[in-house]
Amino acid sequence: MEVILVYINFPSRDVARHIGTALIEKQLAACVNLINGVESIYQWKGEICDEVEVMMVAKTTVSRYQQLEDYVKEVHPYDTPEIIGQQLAHGSEGYLNWVQDQMEGRH
């Protein structure tokens, strides 16, 4: 299936909104959902860290994934941002077509 989900974490709502809006304007994502107040726990240089982040779920396509990744790496404030993508196995035809239309500028 051509449509995929991409997860990207951000340090704040404003940064997530700014980059998310740019992804849509550049037709690198059809839409993005921002989940606020996500608590991220990880280890950094041996210390357990606990930060509040914003989780973005972007709907894009396999053919646009690499451009999306390259753009996010260019503008994201982290050195190594989380950018991971998952295949879809099912989807309503109308919605999947809408995603494709968005990516090809047929609004």
Residues near a second copy, by CB under 8 A: 3-7, 9, 13, 17, 20-21, 24-25, 30-46, 48, 50, 53, 55, 57, 59, 62, 65, 69, 73, 79-92, 94-96, 98, 102, 107
Residue with tokens 């404030």: 77
What's the first-to-final CA gap in the chain, in angstroms?
21
Residue reference for tokens 């994934």: 65
Cα 33 from Cα 57, distance rounded (Å): 5
- Minimum gap (Å) between residue 71 Cβ and a second copy: 12
Residue closer to a second copy by CB (options 7, 11) is: 7
C-beta of 60: minimal distance to a second copy in Å?
10
Rg (CA), the chain: 15
Minimum Å gap between C-beta 8 and a second copy is: 9
Shortest reach from residue 77's CB to a second copy, in Å: 14
Round to whole Å and give the CA distance between 55 and 82.
Answer: 10
